[in-house]
A and B are shown apart, each in its own frame.
Chain A
Amino acid sequence: MTVPVERKSGNIVRSINKFIEDNFSTPNSIDTNFQDSLFDNRDKDLWLDVKILKHGAGRLSETMVQLDVYSRVRGDEDDGDQMGADLIDAADKLHAAMHVDRIQLYDFTTPASPTPVASRVLMVQNSAGKFREPEDDTDVVYEAGVIRRSLTYRFRLPSDASASPAYYD
């Protein structure tokens, strides 16, 4: 028995990545790193790092993703983001981008040309039940030369949210 395309973890996280790239990274010229340990940030002043914390959407659970916005802080004489204004702006844009009712699911069987799965979407809903809101939003400041805002989002399929379904339709 094969797992339906909308319940495959690979399709789910790639659809989330695609959504972020389409709605946040490109229009704002912010480079996005999707779990790439070799991502080179040395010449970047502002970037987004995406970490998958948990795979669970499509299996009566949830997919949790941590979105880290980094902003470079240099010495006083340089034009770095000492006051954190760029970071705040970028985090607000990210929050606005994620403030959606639904995220389209794609089938990544052919990774270069993903096809939308008809009437299959992901919902952004935190564990307190609020839609379109992050699970967690924290300033993380322990890395040298950068400041970070860490937003955690929880994604579910509508079928995951139903009380106790015997089957996925």
Chain B
Amino acid sequence: MEVPLLALKHNAPEIGDKLTRIQALIDGGWQREVVALMEDARKTVSKLTPRSVSAGGMLVGRGKRKQQAHLADGWTLRTIGRGGKDRVPVLTVVHNRFTHDAAGRMKDAAVVGERFGRRFTLTEILEYGTMPHPITPRRASVLHFFTRRGAEVYTAHVSHPGTKAYAMVRLTRVLLHKWAAALQRRWKKKVDREWRK
């Protein structure tokens, strides 16, 4: 007479071993490569950001710490969840520390104007460009500046030819998507190989 029971042999320990090995693989390489990828993105966006050749850049900081800096030098990598013991990076952000914080909020000191209740910084202006526009004094009666050749100018009106749209963030984002897709394909192969072992 047949024993009245149902039995199924399962391979849970084997699957557990494989998952542990894949976890070690991810911890050891994937996270490091994702951070490296974002570092490449930071370098690229910095390279695509224009640098003024005549001026020393913009004033950043407050009080005695105020100094000249180029917007291109402000691109910063911020990894959240990194550093502490057993902490893994959960989010990596590239932001311009001169104009925005890591959450994307504009810094008050970097705001160069406000229109229709919305503020903007130099980063937005360079990203999307401007059409030709007049510049007139706001707080003084005339504009005062030095030309690239050092000549001192007083004038009541300047016709600005407009600013090119440098699209540094959008062009970097397109590259980042490509790099991330390639990384994903490479790692899928690695994980598949580990799973089949």
**Which residues of A are interface residues toward B (Cβ below 8 A)?**
37, 41, 49, 51, 53-54, 62, 64, 66, 68, 70, 73, 127-128, 135-136, 138-144, 146-148, 150, 152, 154
A37-B161, A140-B124, A141-B118 given as contacts; is B130 within 8 A of A135 (CB)? no
Q: Which residues of B contact A152 (CB under 8 A)?
A: 167, 170
> Within the assembled complex, what's the spacing in Å between the Cα atoms of A127 and B115?
31
Stretch binding the partner chain, chosen from B11-19, B85-93, B146-154, B173-181? B173-181
Q: Of all chain A residues, which has the CB nearest B174?
A: A127
A-B contact count (CB 8 A): 64
A51-B165, A127-B178, A141-B116 given as contacts; is B173 within 8 A of A66 (CB)? no
- Nearest CB in chain A: distance from B99 CB, A: 13
Q: Do A64 and B173 touch (CB < 8 A)? A: no
Q: Do A37 and B128 touch (CB < 8 A)? A: no
Annotate B116-139 by CB proximity to A: 1 below 8 A, 0 otherwise: 101010001100111111100000
Q: Do A142 and B113 touch (CB < 8 A)? A: yes
User: In chain B, residues 143-165, which have Cβ atoms closer than 8 Å to a Cβ of chain A?
Assistant: 161-162, 165
User: What are 21 A-B residue pairs whose CB atoms fall within 8 Å in the complex?
Assistant: A49-B131, A51-B129, A51-B165, A53-B165, A53-B167, A53-B170, A54-B171, A64-B167, A64-B170, A66-B165, A73-B116, A128-B177, A135-B170, A142-B118, A143-B130, A143-B133, A144-B133, A146-B131, A148-B128, A152-B167, A154-B174
> Within the assembled complex, what's the spacing in Å between the Cα atoms of A70 and B130?
11
User: In chain B, residues 39-69, which have Cβ atoms closer than 8 Å to a Cβ of chain A?
Assistant: none
> Within the assembled complex, what's the spacing in Å between the Cα atoms of A127 and B116?
31
Q: Do A41 and B125 touch (CB < 8 A)? A: no
> Within the assembled complex, what's the spacing in Å between the Cα atoms of A68 and B130?
10
Q: Which residues of A contact B133 (CB under 8 A)?
A: 143-144
Q: Which residues of B contact A143 (CB under 8 A)?
A: 115, 130-131, 133
> Within the assembled complex, what's the spacing in Å between the Cα atoms of A26 and B10?
68
Q: Do A70 and B170 touch (CB < 8 A)? A: no
- Nearest CB in chain A: distance from B119 CB, A: 9
Given A73-B116, A135-B174, A150-B128; 17 other pairs, CB 8 A cutoff: A37-B132, A37-B161, A37-B162, A53-B165, A53-B171, A54-B171, A64-B167, A68-B131, A70-B131, A127-B174, A135-B170, A135-B173, A136-B170, A138-B128, A141-B116, A143-B131, A154-B174
- Nearest CB in chain A: distance from B171 CB, A: 6
Among A62, A136, A147, the residue within 8 A (CB) of B116 is A147
Q: Which residues of A contact B120 (CB under 8 A)?
A: 141-142
> Within the assembled complex, what's the spacing in Å between the Cα atoms of A62 and B171?
10
> Within the assembled complex, what's the spacing in Å between the Cα atoms of A154 and B170?
10
Q: Which residues of A contact B118 (CB under 8 A)?
A: 139, 141-142
Q: Do A41 and B177 touch (CB < 8 A)? A: no
- Nearest CB in chain B: distance from A72 CB, A: 12
Q: Do A140 and B167 touch (CB < 8 A)? A: no
Q: Do B174 and A142 touch (CB < 8 A)? A: no
Q: Which residues of A contact B125 (CB under 8 A)?
A: 142
Q: Do A66 and B128 touch (CB < 8 A)? A: yes
A66-B165, A128-B177 given as contacts; is B115 within 8 A of A142 (CB)? yes
